[in-house]
Structure 1
Amino acid sequence: MKKLLVFALVLGSLLFTSCAAHMLSVSHNNLSQTETVLTQKNFKVVGQVQGEATATYILGIGGLSKKALNANAIAEMYENANLTGSQTIINVYVKKTVGGVMPFYTKNTNIATGTIIEFTE
């Protein structure tokens, strides 16, 4: 009986533990073909905008590719910006987080963030 109790405790403790990992990396790339040079004070900062895309993998299967996840986050950021007239987005970067209980369950989230400016002249 005592051996059974010890075995049950060890098995229970193994079932309620996990090997989880969390990784954060930030990349700053020139994401668009247009380059905005701000040498004069002819603009005003309107605000910040962000877009998010998430992919879930079970046993490494499923979700989007890294490139598609990036593209979806950036596309949502531009959609959320509601740009009008002489507005544009500068300082765009993508924050990537990976979490879960690897290799069984992995959740990748990319958050694209940028600054909206409006030219005054």
Structure 2
Amino acid sequence: MELFATNLRRRAEELGFSNAEVARRAGLSERRYGNYVSGRREPDLATLVRISSVLATTPTDLLTTSLEKIVPEQLARQRTIAALAVLRSDDLERVAVMVEALATERR
């Protein structure tokens, strides 16, 4: 359980998420998520999948080897993916327009 708890803490830190933010995005109470982060409990499979999605990683990565350091470009992409997961469709449309404008400017 300690490896899982360590991986949760490390991944949230990489993405700049507080425990409260991960819990909110995964639809969990802060107390319940705190039990996972502290290593007191392990989530069921459905909860593990939700947490993995919020943290833009896989259940396997959270449960097995320690997550490796990620290069800044990969981390920025993963942070973006994690943030997109909680946006409504109208907000996603705005983000798509902004990203397309940035990409066009860079060409």
TM-score, normalised by the number of residues in structure 1? 0.22
Q: Which has the larger radius of gyration?
A: 1
Which one has the bigger strand percentage? Answer: 1
**Higher relative CO (CA 8 A, sep ≥ 6), structure 1 or 2?**
1
**TM-score for the superposition, normalised by structure 2:** 0.24
